[in-house]
Amino acid sequence: MVRSPENLGGVALLGSGSALPSQTLTNDQLGQRVDTNDSWIRSRTGIAGRRVIGSEESLTELSCRAGRSAMEMAQWDPDSIDLILLATSTPDDLFGSAPKVQAQLGAKNAVAFDLTAACSGFLFALVTASQFLRTGAMQKVLVIGADQLTRWVDWDDRRSCVLFGDGAGAVALESTSSEDDCLIGFQLKSDGSRGDCLNLPHLNQFLPLVDGISHEAGGFSPIQMNGQEVYKFAVREVPEILEKLLKVHEVLPDSLDWLLLHQANQRILDSVAERFSIPNEKVLSNLANYGNTSAATIPLMLDEAVKDGRIKSGDLIASSGFGAGLSWGAALFKWRGPV
């Protein structure tokens, strides 16, 4: 039943899941391809290795594995899912990969679509899902963040190719009473006027079609990135948006259990944590193992920390995603876990 605006419900995070490709590419191995080395990459980014999707794997398959694992934790029957939101900028099919995921998960009653917001994609999808749940229009939503940026990396550009890896993460969200609400608040931002520092642009190649008419050929250029501009953007905007979020909800940084940022660069994580005097033990990081997996980083990290027992039911988490667009956002939520 759809609720009235005065009577909105809450959102509970009941399950998490993740999936990774089997191939690992170390910094030393990358050094065989471009003029780089382990010590430069580790000291400038914190990354030691990343996963690369192989010929037997796909974004759809990783998304299904992550989604299935979140569904199992939440103890959901696939038939009961209302919506599958796949946050990705690198679908297997430009028309959308979410319906394939829906079919392979056997979620025959779910509507499924992709949402594109680069590295902010998971956070934007989480907030989008929460709107359906709060109104009561939907009861169960599976949000998946998955990307395979290794497909679009320029492997001869040492300034960007060292950063990215592939992966998928998922959360199972259920509508609940307003008293049990786990999503305390969010802030989302976009600024296309600054988008030129990080792009995966269309090729812009025209071919003759018939006399006097040409058509554009399909295809994209590899990722183009001005790393320093993206870095400056992240260390300026992420603390600002987090500060605003904490202030609106009267939450002191001290009372946070975890800081869960998009895993782009360890120096960005450290800089944001320092701004709020959050100790290292509360800053979640798995960058060393997986690099920047774009829309997957936040749910991948969440799942890892839930499964190894660091994140416990009731823990308060401040999260922020940021990236191409430019786009960025923050959310304050409590992990519930299976009931």
Interface with ligand ACO includes 292 (CB under 6 A)?
Answer: yes
Interface with ligand ACO includes 235 (CB under 6 A)?
Answer: no
What single string gives the DSSP state of each residue in 43-85? HHH---EEEE--TT--HHHHHHHHHHHHHHHHT--GGG--EEE
What single string gives the DSSP state of each residue in 288-339? HHH-B-GGGHHHHHHHHHHHTTSS-TT-EEEEEEEETTTEEEEEEEE-----
Interface with ligand ACO includes 302 (CB under 6 A)?
Answer: no
From 64-72, 155-163, 182-190, 283-291, give the range in contact with ligand ACO by CB under 6 A. 155-163
109 annotated active-site: no
Q: Which of 27, 161, 262, 265 is catalytic?
A: 262
197 annotated active-site: no
Dihedral in degrees, nearest 10, Cα atoms 53, 294, 99, 20? 40
CB of 9 to ligand ACO, least distance (A): 32
Interface with ligand ACO includes 42 (CB under 6 A)?
Answer: no
Enumerate residues 76-105 that contact ligand ACO by CB under 6 A: none
Interface with ligand ACO includes 227 (CB under 6 A)?
Answer: yes
119 annotated active-site: yes
Enumerate residues 47-76 that contact ligand ACO by CB under 6 A: none
Interface with ligand ACO includes 324 (CB under 6 A)?
Answer: yes
Interface residue with ligand ACO, options 119, 129, 238, 283 (CB under 6 A):
119
154 contacts: CB under 8 Å, gap ≥ 6: 160, 161, 222, 223, 224
Interface with ligand ACO includes 285 (CB under 6 A)?
Answer: no
H, E, C per residue of 255-284? HCCEEEECCCCHHHHHHHHHHCCCCHHHEC
Structure token pair of residue 204: 């812009």
Interface with ligand ACO includes 272 (CB under 6 A)?
Answer: no
Enumerate residues 241-270 that contact ligand ACO by CB under 6 A: 264-265
Whose Cβ is closer to ligand ACO: residue 20's or residue 47's?
47
Q: Which of 27, 265, 289, 292 is catalytic?
A: 292
CB 260 within 8 A of CB 123: no
CB 124 within 8 A of CB 49: no
CB of 195 to ligand ACO, least distance (A): 10
Interface with ligand ACO includes 159 (CB under 6 A)?
Answer: yes
Rounded (10°) angle between helices 121-135 and 297-307: 80
Q: Which of 27, 64, 119, 161 is catalytic?
A: 119
Structure token pair of residue 137: 């229009």
Interface residue with ligand ACO, options 158, 194, 307, 310 (CB under 6 A):
158
d(CA 247, CA 270): 21
d(CA 143, CA 70): 9
Interface with ligand ACO includes 230 (CB under 6 A)?
Answer: yes
CA-atom Rg of the chain in angstroms: 20
Interface with ligand ACO includes 44 (CB under 6 A)?
Answer: yes
CB of 50 to ligand ACO, least distance (A): 13
308 contacts: CB under 8 Å, gap ≥ 6: none
Structure token pair of residue 67: 């989604």
Residues annotated as part of the active site: 119, 262, 292
Enumerate binding residues for ligand ACO (CB under 6 A): 36, 40-41, 44-45, 118-119, 158-159, 162-163, 198, 225, 227-228, 230-231, 264-265, 292, 294, 323-324
